[in-house]
Amino acid sequence: MKMSLMKKLSIGFLLAVVGAILISVFISNYMVGKKFNNYLLDEQKDKVNKIVATAQDLYDDKTGFSNFNKDELLRYAVLEELYIQVKDINGNVVFDSGNSHLQHKNMMESMMGNMMKGGMSKYSHMNLGEYKEENYSLIKNKKNIGKIVVGYFGTSYLNQGAVTFKMTLNHSFILSGFIALIFGLGVSFILAKQLTKPLVRITKTANEMRKGNLAVRSQVKSETREIQELSASINYLAETLQNQEMLRKRMTSDMAHEIRTPLTTLKTHVEALLDGIWEPTEERFQVFYDEIERLINLVNKLQNLAKLEQADLKLNSTKFNLSEELKKTISNFEPLYLKNNYTIEAKIYKDIWVYMDRDKLKQIMHNLLSNSYKYLKSNGKVVVELKEEEGICIKVKDNGIGIPEKDLPYIFERFYRTDLSRTKNTGGSGIGLTITKSLVECHNGKISVESKEKEGSTFVVWFPKEIICEDK
């Protein structure tokens, strides 16, 4: 049977409080009771020692015990509920307190009976009938002058005040435990409610997301750090899923457009040929061929992207001079740039040797330089930088049209293009940067972009220092 979190927390807190109370009461009662009993026993011994000392003081060196004041010993016997008997050196009884100590037994029996009626069964084990007598030698001036017998029942040290104190102490423990239990129950309920209430609201938000409402957000505000972080994570997840849903819909639309455009061109040209509007010339067939090639290139890029995103992507890593390789790549692009009066410049550290996949590096640079070329303005310029910064850092800067700020988070997504017109003159299929990102990440690298609209863009590619070869 499943139980709510609030109920579990309440029961857990309550059990912890009850356990703590029981342990505290048991230990406290045991320790206090033990110490108090020891204190009473010490008091009993002091009484006996005082009686012995008094009997020794009453002895007279000349008359012995014949003329001593018996009232003082009798008073002790009555007040302390003890039996006292004094014998001289010859064994003759010179003092006997009588049955005054039995009054204590009767009183204690009555007291214990009342306590048992009141629920204090703890004292029922006391043996009130156990009577003890202890013999002590009387010595004065290092001379044995007789013997004293002190008799008492086993509970004689438990006078009415001591028993009342112990009863009050036990009642205090019980009352304190009950109050602590009520307090713990209240605190456990409050804490459980504070913890579960925001979790219930977060759960409702998650359920709304599951139903497809990705615009919902968690509005939970809590002083508990973990709950606040959970709420923020749910909101981040909702925002991410919402963005991914938008990208999915846009990707579907873009893919349909990319495929439909060449198919529409082919269809209209074929219809014109079938209707006799156009003659089947070499130029017409060249158009067919170009559109078919466009479709083939699109399919190949999609296939390459799928391969790059596979977990088992293999790298053909070799050692080579990265500085020289970048210079060659830049040289290959110079004619294309010069044709449109663009400038490409290199700022490359010399002799940086690396161990990585040369072909994939070429593809990365080809995609980045082609992308910069497509969006340059008149008198456009591209600068390629290479340097060591806790690894390998490659920057491709251009002064082109830039990227709108709203598009920056999605620039590496499939088919995402900032140019929604999708004309042939302003870019390709929107897969190039996605492929570039995959190629960089398969080397454990990172790629990022900084851009301002109408000012240009800077693509930054970083590779870890593990790929650097110290020996040239």
SS (H, E, C) 210-269: HCCCCCCCCCCCCCCHHHHHHHHHHHHHHHHHHHHHHHHHHHHHHHHHHHHHHHHHHHHH
Lookup: tokens for 450: 């900084």
Total residues found in the chain within this entry: 472
Question: Are residues 286 and 318 located together in one domain of the fold?
Answer: no
- pLDDT (0 to 100) of residue 424: 44
Question: Are residues 13 and 119 located together in one domain of the fold?
Answer: yes
CATH of the domain at 336: 3.30.565.10
- pLDDT (0 to 100) of residue 417: 60
Model confidence pLDDT, tens digit, residues 83-109: 888 888 888 888 887 765 555 455 545
| Count of domains observed in the chain | 3
pLDDT confidence bin for 12, thresholds 50/70/90: confident
Domain termination residue (choose one: 117, 152, 181)? 181
Sheet-wide strand order for 143-153: 93-96, 83-88, 143-153, 131-140
Question: Are residues 41 and 17 located together in one domain of the fold?
Answer: yes
Q: Say which residue the tokens 């410049």 belong to.
A: 345
Lowest mean pLDDT, pick from 72-76, 110-114, 135-139, 241-245: 110-114
Residue 80 or residue 443, greater confidence? 443
Q: Do the beta carbons of residue 468 and residue 391 sit within 8 Å?
A: yes
The answer to whether residue 192 is domain-embedded is no
Task: Of 310, 387, 313, give the one whose Cα is nearest residue 348.
Answer: 387
The answer to whether residue 55 is domain-embedded is yes
> Residue 327 and residue 270: Cα distance in Å, rounded?
46
The H-or-E segment that residue 81 falls in is: none
CATH of the domain at 125: 3.30.450
> Residue 51 and residue 45: Cα distance in Å, rounded?
10
Range of 13-22, 69-78, 142-151, 246-255 with top mean pLDDT: 142-151
Question: 433 lies in which domain range?
Answer: 313-467
- pLDDT (0 to 100) of residue 98: 74
Residue-by-residue DSSP string for 121-135: GGGGG--TT-EEEEE
Question: Are residues 161 and 231 located together in one domain of the fold?
Answer: no
Would you call 472 exposed, middle or buried from its count of C-beta atoms within 10 A (0-12, 13-18, 19+)?
Answer: exposed
pLDDT confidence bin for 139, thresholds 50/70/90: confident
Domain termination residue (choose one: 265, 283, 307)? 307
The answer to whether residue 204 is domain-embedded is no
pLDDT confidence bin for 119, thresholds 50/70/90: very low
Domain termination residue (choose one: 181, 202, 237)? 181
- pLDDT (0 to 100) of residue 122: 44
Question: Are residues 404 and 375 located together in one domain of the fold?
Answer: yes
Question: Are residues 394 and 412 located together in one domain of the fold?
Answer: yes
- pLDDT for residue 384 is more than 90: yes
Question: Are residues 402 and 366 located together in one domain of the fold?
Answer: yes
Percentage of residues in the chain having pLDDT higher than 90: 13
Question: Are residues 281 and 317 located together in one domain of the fold?
Answer: no
- pLDDT for residue 461 is more than 70: yes
Amino acid in the structure at residue 412: F
The answer to whether residue 165 is domain-embedded is yes
Mean pLDDT score across all residues of the chain: 78
Question: Are residues 281 and 161 located together in one domain of the fold?
Answer: no
The answer to whether residue 203 is domain-embedded is no
Range of 11-15, 48-52, 322-326, 387-391 with top mean pLDDT: 322-326
The answer to whether residue 450 is domain-embedded is yes
Question: Are residues 16 and 137 located together in one domain of the fold?
Answer: yes
Question: Are residues 54 and 168 located together in one domain of the fold?
Answer: yes
The answer to whether residue 210 is domain-embedded is no
The answer to whether residue 187 is domain-embedded is no
Question: Are residues 349 and 432 located together in one domain of the fold?
Answer: yes
pLDDT confidence bin for 381, thresholds 50/70/90: very high
Lowest mean pLDDT, pick from 117-121, 183-187, 373-377, 411-415: 117-121
- pLDDT (0 to 100) of residue 445: 92
